[in-house]
Amino acid sequence: MGKEELGRCEGKSRILIVGGTGYMGRRFVRASLRLGHPTYVLFRPFAGLDIEKLQMLFSFRNSGAHLVKASFDDKESLVAAVKQVDVVISAMAGNHIRSHAIPEQLKLVEAIKEAGNIKRFLPSEFGIDPDKMMDAIEPGNVTFIDKREVRRAIEEAGIPYTYVSANCFAGYFVGGLAQLGRLTPPTDRVFLYDDGNVKAIWVDEDDVATYTINSAVDPRTANKTVYIRPPANILSQREVIELWEKKCGNVLEKICMSREEFLNLMKGQDLAQQIGMTHFYHMFYDGCLYNFEIGEEAREASELYPHVTYTTVDAYLDHYLTIA
Amino acid sequence: MGKEELGRCEGKSRILIVGGTGYMGRRFVRASLRLGHPTYVLFRPFAGLDIEKLQMLFSFRNSGAHLVKASFDDKESLVAAVKQVDVVISAMAGNHIRSHAIPEQLKLVEAIKEAGNIKRFLPSEFGIDPDKMMDAIEPGNVTFIDKREVRRAIEEAGIPYTYVSANCFAGYFVGGLAQLGRLTPPTDRVFLYDDGNVKAIWVDEDDVATYTINSAVDPRTANKTVYIRPPANILSQREVIELWEKKCGNVLEKICMSREEFLNLMKGQDLAQQIGMTHFYHMFYDGCLYNFEIGEEAREASELYPHVTYTTVDAYLDHYLTIA
């Protein structure tokens, strides 16, 4: 990666990744191995029926990870898995367009409570902070309701936790210039949410993983939320578009879309699309990622781990130069 | 990989992989890069809408491959792509359980014919030799009919070709001991096709890729079929089961299934399942992979490339030891 990789943790912790074959989970596995932690990956029965997942698990083992068999339908197996490690990071799917397994984590919370040995649990979050979203609109509020339910269960069980709020994943948001349904830059015209001037925060998924592993073993982040706000990546949609225009030498036609137009567009979409669009709405009209101060009770990742050289949005956009 | 990787080819060829993000395609890309060929990967428009494919394509580029944009709906773009290289390898899907794009290759044949510069084309094959399957039963015969149609189009166009017959992919067949719907070994009982004594041939997919890239640039394989028959991997189903039993120290109950029982089991399955089961039938009852001599008109890969250290079935089974 060409990045300075050493964490600030003194020793190394045994880290179990749950959901290790998913989009973020595989990055947590690789980052944990890269940072030198004894890394364990939960091997659930269905993974044995999916050749891509199975072969990915084998590749993790070839890279030094331990595979731990357990099923969410067998609590004792989960407890036994959890007892082998110090830290548990869940990357279970929380994206309705792919799948949504957030509530299933309550079984993991129960197992961690029963095992009694876990020094830190990171539930699957890595997006918008659900506790800031008490007034989110339907139907996308389901994501926040479910994540809050998991948070409260963790807190009631007295399990030490860290909640990582990672903002916009670059792969999903930067390449498509935050256009709905696009992962690569448009060549002709681009839609702006309102005037495109609301600040958002865009983070390379590999950096999310590096910051997450660092924070999972850091005494300073115990029972705290960690926001990932790399300073160079706090940018409005318009600023991201301008970075791209400068890079590719092509000026795009800009079409501003009002809140009302956006909400009208949601009607008639399927539920998963509507949920995703609700999140776009709160991020790009309300500015929910950056309309609050972090305060004393939480921490910011790039401040905690200044040795991590994160990928800037400007550099990230280079990926798209030869394919646009 | 710990394998002797050097090909026998004198110079290096520019190789274009079509279907490079698929199960075999990604292995061809990696093998081509590993063997030092200038490697090109077709970037089709839909890949830009699938974040896994898009990020895999970026990772290929980071490893040194060139991404070439083209669409199967735009012949000129395909011709332009083909004109940049010497060799074209298609890994377009030919598996009804995942997807079946074999007939779409006729557009690629047209483009290669028009471009006129291609020194070798390898259509998507890598399984049972379709020209040996004139009497295959329905509905699985569709695979062979479609692959033969592509072969005949290539030959009529006068395009130099190599057809690679790779037999049973280890990931799909070895781990599950050739059980239907299993990718990992059963722990209690195992079904044998007849008495399980028909010889089949089992090949690690990464070895398929290494042999394929070698044969794609080899003058000896021009206009020939290459069969991959690694001597240690010519084994009956029963022999594979016995290797596993010895390795894991557990004897499985064996249930023999007659041809009639197997054909009855096919009834009521969906079409994709029936197609797959037809192929099992021909491999494990008829022995279609090994019931013929290669003869003078074709070649065998492990003889052509003795420097390639292939993975034996016995070694491949080690993957499954800690998860069984």
The region, left, alpha or beta by phi > 0 then psi within -120 to 50, assigned to residue B116 is: left
Residue B173 C-alpha, separation from nearest chain A C-alpha, in angstroms? 11
Lowest mean pLDDT among A238-242, B82-86, B193-197, B294-298: B294-298
Average pLDDT, rounded, for chain A: 94
Alpha helix locations (H) across chain B? 25-34, 51-62, 75-82, 105-115, 141-156, 170-173, 205-216, 237-248, 259-266, 271-284, 301-304, 313-316
What is the count of residue pairs from A and B with beta carbons less than 8 Å apart?
A: 50
Of the candidates B43, B49, B183, which has its C-beta nearest A51's C-beta? Answer: B183
Residue B139: asked if its preceding bond is cis (omega within 30°), the reply is yes
State which amino acid sits at residue B83.
K
Taking the CB of residue A299, how many other CB atoms lie within 10 A of it?
Answer: 18
Write out pLDDT tens, residues A104-127: 999 999 999 999 999 999 999 999
Interface test with B, best of A51, A179, A316 (most B CBs within 10 A): A51
Of the candidates A54, A69, A319, which has its C-beta nearest B183's C-beta? Answer: A54
* Contacts with B175 from chain A: Cβ below 8 Å: 54
Catalytic site residue from A119, A147, A199, A224: A147
Reported as type and span, the H/E element at residue A206 is: helix A205-216
How confident is residue B10, by pLDDT bands cut at 50, 70 and 90?
low
Of the candidates A69, A181, A182, which has its C-beta nearest B323's C-beta? Answer: A69
Whether A147 is catalytic? yes
Q: Which of B310, B284, B282, B285 is nearest to B129 (CA)?
A: B282
Write out pLDDT tens, residues B256-305: 999 999 999 999 899 999 999 999 999 999 999 999 999 999 999 999 99
Residue A280 C-alpha, separation from nearest chain B C-alpha, in angstroms? 18
Could you write out the DSSP letters of every residue in B231-272? GGGEEEHHHHHHHHHHHHT-PPEEEEE-HHHHHHHHTTS-HH
Residue A103: asked if its preceding bond is cis (omega within 30°), the reply is no
**What ipTM was estimated for this complex?**
0.92
pLDDT, position A100: 84
A181 touches chain B (CB under 8 A): yes
* Contacts with B23 from chain A: Cβ below 8 Å: 51-52
Q: Is the pLDDT of residue B36 over 90?
A: yes
Q: Which of B224, B183, B201, B194 is nearest to B97 (CA)?
A: B183
Rounded CA separation B199/B60 (Å): 37
Interface test with A, best of B24, B58, B69, B84 (most A CBs within 10 A): B58
A43 touches chain B (CB under 8 A): yes
B186 touches chain A (CB under 8 A): no
How confident is residue B9, by pLDDT bands cut at 50, 70 and 90?
very low
Of the candidates A43, A52, A319, which has its C-beta nearest B323's C-beta? Answer: A43
Contact A67 B322 (CB under 8 A): yes
B285 touches chain A (CB under 8 A): no
A270 touches chain B (CB under 8 A): no
Of the candidates B54, B171, B322, which has its C-beta nearest A51's C-beta? Answer: B171
Q: Which of B27, B9, B5 is nearest to B17 (CA)?
A: B27
Write out pLDDT tens, residues B142-194: 999 999 999 999 999 999 999 999 999 999 999 999 999 999 999 999 999 99
> How far is residue B100 from each of residues A321, B19, B144, measured CA to CA in Å?
32, 12, 12
Dihedral sign from CA coordinates of A269, A272, A278, A280: negative
Taking the CB of residue A110, how many other CB atoms lie within 10 A of it?
Answer: 15
Rounded CA separation A276/A95 (Å): 8
> How far is residue B146 from each of residues B22, B123, B152, measured CA to CA in Å?
19, 11, 10
Contact B278, B141 (CB under 8 A): yes
A176 touches chain B (CB under 8 A): no
Instruction: Read off the pLDDT of each residue in B222-235 and give the average, rounded to a whole number.
Output: 98
Write out pLDDT tens, residues A42-90: 999 888 889 999 999 999 999 999 999 999 999 999 999 999 999 999 9
Q: Which of B94, B62, B70 is nearest to B17 (CA)?
A: B70
Q: Is the pLDDT of residue A186 over 70?
A: yes
Residue A180 C-alpha, separation from nearest chain B C-alpha, in angstroms? 11
pLDDT, position B96: 75
Residue with tokens 């089991």: B265
